[in-house]
Structure 1
């Protein structure tokens, strides 16, 4: 897939079908973008599971934090990645070990690695990169 541009229907379909999101790189710091996006997603009715090894066992916005994706025991619709683009390949390695696989891998603003995306897509995972659901949801009127 070409990740330079996404059809609105592709993004809208993902965001309307998604219910459970793992937010990789969640922060308890209200000044961090991941905190604001997590708060926004929760306010829109999504179930958000924060993932951050340094915060494991604590809570962010009232949600229990896990240290790794592998610790999540329920099926995920989407993994929202707040990690630098250079780590996306390693994130895909971790994602491909999950059973069942998540339906969507979403790279936040500036998070793009086309080769890593290709590996996820080859496994049947939809990919969005360099986008923010907290921007896309209002833009699309969802």
Structure 2
């Protein structure tokens, strides 16, 4: 074995994913070819039919968010709901519950100022007024 082979064998390690083997460099930089190869191998992985049976608190609150919001609409406070969840074995502070509920909200699309209907109307008004003056 040459010195180059020894260095190469020390640099490369193998990651085994099922029946697939992916070579990973120990350096922090990867060639585009390496990344494409890994991408193809990841895409080739078969789907699994195993559903996740466990989730973290953020995921759990995301799943429960509609029910929590409905309880709030029925007059329950976050303090009351956090206490009740704790009694059911789901320990969470009111502040954390609030934070996780905010994360679970569907994101609102941001409207660009330059393309908003108001700015377009203002531009139209500005263009109309300059045309009338001339």
Greater helix fraction, Structure 1 or Structure 2: 2
Q: Same fold (TM over 0.5)?
A: no
| Bin for the TM-score computed over the shorter chain | under 0.3
Structure exhibiting the larger radius of gyration computed from Cα positions: 2
Q: TM-score, normalised by structure 2?
A: 0.23
Which has the higher relative contact order, 1 or 2, with Cα contacts under 8 A spaced 6 or more apart? 1
Q: TM-score, normalised by structure 1?
A: 0.22
